[in-house]
Amino acid sequence: MSLRSILFPAKWRAFRLFLSLVYLGLLFSAAGYLYRSILFFEGDLFLDTASSARWVARPSGGGGALFSAQHNAPAGVLLPSFEHRIAARYGRDVSVDAANLGFRLRLVSVRPLEEFPPRETVEIDGPGGARTETVESGKVLPLDAVQVRMVEARPWAGLLRSPLGAPMACVTPQGGSDKSRAPVFLYAERWQRCGPDFAFCLRWFPDQATAEKALAARLEDTGARWGASEGKRVQAFSSFAPGTGVTLGDGTEVTLLSRRAAEEEHPSAILGETRKAGEVRPWTVEANHEAEGLPLFYECPAESNEAVVLHAWRDGAVLAGCYRRGVLTVKQMLEEGVTLTPPQAMYSFRLEQVMAKAAAAKPDSGGAWQLIVDAGQGEIGLRQGMAMPVGDYRLTYHRTVPPPRLEYTLAVGAADTGQSSYTVSLESGKRTRIGGWRVTAPLESADPAQGLVMRAERTPGGPVSMFGAFLFAAGSFGWVLCFYFAPRATR
């Protein structure tokens, strides 16, 4: 009797088969784990429409770096076309690990499939706790004794502090024929008209005493100008010397002849003539009006029915002087956020901001937004993300824009030539397998001209890999079964 027959009697043949299968299973698991560790690589795939990409990159130091094709490589050398985008994503002077796709990918197009409305809410924090209300035009928020009515949401516009900026103020006129309630930016020593009979001017002084002394009882005749406005082309003159002129786009020669002074019942006016093809025609334009049939204007803020002069010497406050037909009617200190309504005036205005060094942030639908609310003292803007006190409550406006659902089209080409062989389409947040890589499209929107970044993951898989693994496993189990059922030689 042999040692084999003693250790493994014939009746234990089934047990030996079981042990063999367990051994093969453990062997396959260990080999698969090692193979995946060597093969696995996950990183960013930088794509655009101008060039094709064949490298997947990530900052050096991740797992599997020893088996990557490029280890601790300078991004500018490996991916020169995307160096600035890699610096924006990873930081400057960052080395990367990179793996070769084995093919080339190029972004062909980005097509929007569906856009979703923004989610707008107002967070109310007060004595009764915190709650959230959805934004709806005309909706009223009862806050004890105060009723806050939501008017509308629109892009925010205002002033931003800038060390290289200039003295500026931002005001919001209300009333009159202009219902837009759009903010108006004021630059120092420049008149800004808001309609034919309303004008603003900002003046900056070194201290409060000088600002108060300079506010005269009668508005000086400053800031008057005339000129021609043809679309975006504006030619303006502050000189009223006879003979001053301009040539219009159609070749018409415009010449100023005189300026008529204002009288009790008649505003001032400018008189001149036009000359074209030998034909001479006279024209007259009254103050704060435009010429009939000609693109000429004449602005004289001192003769506006209503004018406001803001004297400032520090951030956050101004001394406002309201004039009616050149005579001072209201003199009042204004802080930011306060609305002033002069008596018997058709207009009111709200001082939004005033700064000694500022830059204007124009309304932009892609930037910050504000919710216009009315708390009983005029309309005010609740800027996105900033809290505003209303009595014992604090209101915070939030606005979130879900990314649109997009379809990305990618061209797949040969690794050596880059010539496209076929295209692949995938939607936002979805992934697809291309060769040995799983590519995931980003959720955020992207501009094809600026390119985009997709996630790419190299893992075992795909039809060829799965078929090879199946053949290997089938062959191994077949060998075990053949060994088990093979006839034994007898002695």
- pLDDT of 257 > 70? The answer is yes
Count of positions (residues) in the chain: 491
- pLDDT of 63 > 60? The answer is no
CA-closest candidate to residue 459, choices 437, 480, 484, 444: 437
153 strand-pairing partners: 371
Two structure tokens written together for 326: 């050149």
Two structure tokens written together for 478: 């077949």
Residue 99 — very low, low, confident or very high, per pLDDT cuts 50/70/90? Answer: confident
Two structure tokens written together for 213: 């002394």
Two structure tokens written together for 472: 């290997």
254 strand-pairing partners: 246, 274
- pLDDT of 67 > 60? The answer is no
pTM: 0.62
Backbone angles phi, psi at 331, to 5 degrees: -135, 115
Element (H, E) at 316: none
pLDDT at 28: 67
pLDDT at 353: 92
* 116 contact partners, CB below 8 Å, separation of at least 6: 401, 402, 403, 404, 405
188/52 Cα distance (integer angstroms) = 52
CA-closest candidate to residue 147, choices 350, 374, 370: 374
Tokens 């199946």 locate to 470
pLDDT at 64: 47
141 strand-pairing partners: 148
- The CA distances from residue 171 to 71, 99, 130, 309, 315, in Å, are 57, 56, 32, 12, 14
* 199 contact partners, CB below 8 Å, separation of at least 6: 191, 192, 193, 301, 304, 306, 307, 308
Tokens 């001053």 locate to 244
* 132 contact partners, CB below 8 Å, separation of at least 6: 121, 122, 123, 124
Question: How many Cβ atoms are within 10 Å of 127's Cβ, its own excluded?
Answer: 9
Q: What's the average model confidence in pLDDT over 302-311?
A: 88
Q: What's the average model confidence in pLDDT over 166-174?
A: 90
- Sign of the torsion angle spanned by Cα atoms 139, 141, 146, 152: negative
- Mean pLDDT, the chain, rounded, equals 80
Residue 478 — very low, low, confident or very high, per pLDDT cuts 50/70/90? Answer: low
CA atoms within 13 A on the CB side of 317: 11
pLDDT at 413: 85
Two structure tokens written together for 226: 């005339």
Task: Give residue 320's identity as a one-letter amino acid code.
Answer: A
Backbone angles phi, psi at 22, to 5 degrees: -65, -40
Residue 261 — very low, low, confident or very high, per pLDDT cuts 50/70/90? Answer: confident
284/278 Cα distance (integer angstroms) = 20
Two structure tokens written together for 47: 């794509």
Q: Domain coordinates of the chain in residue numbers?
A: 3-31+466-485, 41-113+406-458, 122-156+363-401, 157-353
- Sign of the torsion angle spanned by Cα atoms 90, 95, 99, 104: positive
Task: Give residue 361's identity as a one-letter amino acid code.
Answer: A
The predicted-structure confidence for 242-255, as pLDDT tens digits, reads as follows 988 888 888 889 99
DSSP line for 224-237:
-EEEEEETTEEEEE
pLDDT at 62: 53
237/235 Cα distance (integer angstroms) = 7
Tokens 């931003």 locate to 160
Q: In this predicted structure, which of 92-106, 328-342, 470-484 has the lowest mean pLDDT?
A: 470-484
**Percent of the chain at pLDDT above 70?**
78
